Structure 1
């Protein structure tokens, strides 16, 4: 088995891809990682086509950034072959792609809990001198697959799936 990763090169995408690759190397040495491709969203279909041509044993794609998968998942549906496709951050158009197997899994984080609250706590500490109310804060990561996608509802305030 082998997979490959896509992102545009920003630090979040690089960190996600590195973590994913490190996990595969440690826990699934039977899965090879063909490489990382940093490209614009518009270039992604061309790169995918070239990778598939060069690596006929390829069976998966990992998209470290939301926009890379969001703008290209329809292209993956038309390849004539199913690949394991893993991405980040859920969007409503993914529901049917998850259910029909075009997308295998989405790793969805609690955006407000990870983005808003840390900045709020930092602001309160630096500006008002208020210490955080607890030493450690945890945030959920949901793994969304075809069989659970319709049962998870994203909240209006962006705090994740409920």
Structure 2
């Protein structure tokens, strides 16, 4: 028999978490983080335009509404995995993906905690010619630090990052212009 000190079993009221995110306007709420697992609820990803490359698997459950998970094949082709409410999707590590769902939709996500030296990447592509515009990298150790928003701030705040070096197209800014 194994005896665990300070043993906790998180029992989370997901309806209350979704209401908290609505009330506060926040986009994510971390549920737990231990040596092996990171779990959080995310609200609305309608603004996403980048492809996230995560060294961990992701398990994504559609709590409310649906998600269209855009992803890139090894050949660079963009495809869509539709995840209806009540469905769960397993995403293997290193798949470039871009979760898209409405502001009133919610996802429950479980990931493996990053190992030392593992880095998450965020890639933006030219909307005209699909050339890689910019890459942001982060060590994702805690979703309360909101690495996605930090990556977006860096991208949107730089005209240089949003300008295609191949065709000269400027990707839209935060406000769509």
Fold-level match, TM-score > 0.5? no
The structure with the largest helix share of the pair is: 1
The structure with the largest strand share of the pair is: 2
TM-score (norm 2): 0.24
